[in-house]
């Protein structure tokens, strides 16, 4: 079993569609109740600084090039979390005949950890981040 990452992980959040419910739970993780920064987990404004890419949403076709570019801009070694029912399986947007959806996330870029839920609770998000830290 690989050892956990030895430094504080920096995370870039890529919103790839969805209803923004997942994104609000991410905000809760940053607020005073869960306050992930006190554990050294920091959100960054550019993928170029990130260790972890956290993707929400089902990835509509028009967002696919953006997600591919963000993945390419994230330096190695990097890990990817797909969050929410949308990110992991397209959720309510799942439909083989849906003309506008390219996802789920794992169809576009490699995914290391999935966080299920619609939306996942902050506790599940924190658990997912800890899981991906063990994959470095
Ligand atoms: S998983 Fe649920 S809460 Fe998250 S973006 Fe999709 S519909 Fe919204």
Q: Which residue, among 49, 55, 54, has the nearest Cα to 75 in the 3D structure?
A: 49
Cα of 62 from ligand 1 centre, angstroms? 18
| Higher pLDDT pick, 18 / 10 | 10
User: For residue 85, which atom of ligand 1 is closest to its CA?
Assistant: 1
Least confident interval from 4-8, 63-67, 92-96? 4-8
- CB neighbour burial string for 58-87, b if at least 16 within 10 angstroms, e if fewer: bbbeebbeebeebbeebeeebbbbbbbbbb
Ordered by start, the domain boundaries in the chain are 17-133
Does ligand 1 lie within 6 Å of residue 103's CB atom? Answer: no
Give yes or no for residue 125 CB within 6 A of ligand 1.
no
Using an 8 Å Cβ cutoff, are 108 and 64 in contact?
A: yes
pLDDT grade for 101, boundaries at 50, 70 and 90: very high
Q: 17-133 domain in CATH 3.40.50.720?
A: no
SS3 12: strand
Residue 65 has pLDDT above 70, yes or no: yes
Does 22 contact ligand 1 (Cβ within 6 A)?
yes
Average pLDDT in the 35-43 region? 92
């Amino acid at each position: 079993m690989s050892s956990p990452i030895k430094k504080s992980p920096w995370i870039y959040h890529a919103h790839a569609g969805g209803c923004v419910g997942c994104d609000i739970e991410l905000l809760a993780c940053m607020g005073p109740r869960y306050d992930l920064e006190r554990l050294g987990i920091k959100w960054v404004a550019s993928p170029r600084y990130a260790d972890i890419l956290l993707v929400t949403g089902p990835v509509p076709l028009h967002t696919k090039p953006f997600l591919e570019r963000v993945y390419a801009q994230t330096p190695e070694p990097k890990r990817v979390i797909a969050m929410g029912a949308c990110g992991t399986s397209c959720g309510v947007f799942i439909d083989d005949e849906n003309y506008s959806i390219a996802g789920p996330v794992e169809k576009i870029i490699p995914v290391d950890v999935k966080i299920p839920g619609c939306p996942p609770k902050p506790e599940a998000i924190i658990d997912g981040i800890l899981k991906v830290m063990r994959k470095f």
